[in-house]
């Protein structure tokens, strides 16, 4: 595979290309996220990418070479960021690097591209982003043989990218019809991606989760039995001296 010195990064939220979305979905997304309950169909993203008033607004970053040329393009990685306007928070819902391109710093380049977009204010329409969250498999709940990437290796990658754990009982809501909520996940946050924001508070975590769960079908998330444990754990954050926990120490992993 070619080196990444000629790497390009295109945001499909600013320059929509149906063919490139399809290629990224088939070549990188599906191999990286084989669990059906953790997948979304591209038909969900297309209206949001084409609607400037969508909530959440999407940054759908595709990294690779010759991306504008279907005959020559190599899709090497992707990152999907969702901006939730009411809570002013971003969820990195997906980040993936093609197996043959791992170990070359492509994840860092995708995060840097997202940071530039956030700093420009284009995704948030000038509002200060309060937090940038993501989901990650709990290494204690998922065996290496059950995951595309060793969960502890993923943990190290996210730690190097600045990720910290938000110690709540996190549940990913059902992403579509016929899908189930997904457990065995941690909610993590990247303070370096929201440098202008104050330190993360339990109020911001709550506001994000309420908006996120509502957008995915729960009319009253804080009263929904599905999320009772989640919001009870958010309540418990108010009594903590330190809100965030390091990813590596949490699993006693050495880099």
At residue 141, does pLDDT exceed 80?
no
> What separation, in Å, do the N-terminal and C-terminal C-alpha atoms of the chain show?
27
How far is the C-alpha of 92 from the C-alpha of 144, rounded, in Å? 22
Within its chain, how far is the Cα of 40 from the centroid?
A: 13
Query: Distance (Å, rounded) from C-alpha 161 to C-alpha 105?
Result: 10
Task: List phi, psi (to 5°) of 180.
Answer: -110, 160
Domains of the chain: 4-251 (3.40.630.30)
What is the model's pTM? 0.90
pLDDT of residue 25: 96
Beta carbons within 10 angstroms of residue 167's beta carbon: 18
**Which pLDDT tens digit goes with each residue over 66-121?**
999 999 999 999 999 999 999 999 999 999 999 889 888 999 999 999 999 999 99
Phi, psi of 147 (to 5 degrees): -130, 155
**What is the per-residue pLDDT for 249?**
65
At 47, is the pLDDT very low, low, confident or very high (cuts 50, 70, 90)? very high
Residue with tokens 């710093």: 105
> Number of helices and strands (H, E) in the chain?
8, 8
Both tokens of residue 35? 């669990």
Q: Tens digits of per-residue pLDDT, 181-240?
A: 888 899 999 999 999 999 999 999 999 999 999 998 899 999 999 999 999 999 999 988
Contacts of 228 (CB under 8 A, 6+ apart): none
Residue 2 confidence (pLDDT) above 60: no
- Arithmetic mean of pLDDT, 22-35: 92
Res 140: pLDDT: 78
Q: What is the DSSP string of 121-174?
A: TTTTTTPPP-EEEEEEE-TTTS-GGGSSS-HHHHHHHHHHTT-EEE-S---BPP
């Amino acid at each position: 595979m070619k080196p990444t010195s000629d790497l390009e990064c295109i945001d499909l939220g600013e320059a929509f290309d149906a063919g490139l979305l399809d290629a990224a979905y088939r070549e990188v997304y599906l191999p990286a996220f084989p669990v059906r309950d953790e997948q979304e169909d591209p038909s969900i993203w297309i209206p949001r990418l084409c609607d400037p008033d969508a909530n959440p607004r999407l940054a759908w970053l595709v990294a690779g070479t010759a991306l504008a040329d279907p005959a020559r393009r190599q899709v090497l990685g992707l990152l999907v960021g969702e901006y939730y306007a009411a809570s002013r928070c971003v969820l990195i819902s997906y980040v993936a690097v093609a197996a043959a391109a791992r170990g070359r710093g492509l994840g860092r380049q995708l995060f840097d591209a997202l940071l530039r977009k956030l700093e420009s204010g284009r995704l948030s329409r000038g509002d200060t982003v309060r937090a940038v969250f993501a989901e990650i498999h709990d290494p204690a709940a998922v065996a290496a043989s059950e995951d595309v990437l060793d969960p502890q290796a993923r943990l190290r990658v996210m730690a190097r990218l600045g990720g910290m754990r938000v110690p709540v009982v996190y549940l990913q809501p059902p992403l579509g019809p016929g899908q189930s909520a997904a457990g065995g996940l941690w909610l993590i946050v990247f303070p370096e991606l929201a440098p202008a924001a104050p330190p993360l508070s339990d109020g911001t975590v709550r506001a994000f989760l309420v908006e996120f769960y509502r957008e995915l079908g729960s009319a009253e998330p804080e009263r929904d039995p599905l999320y009772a444990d989640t919001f009870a754990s958010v309540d418990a954050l108010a009594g903590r001296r330190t809100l965030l926990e390091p990813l590596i120490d949490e699993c006693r992993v050495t880099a």
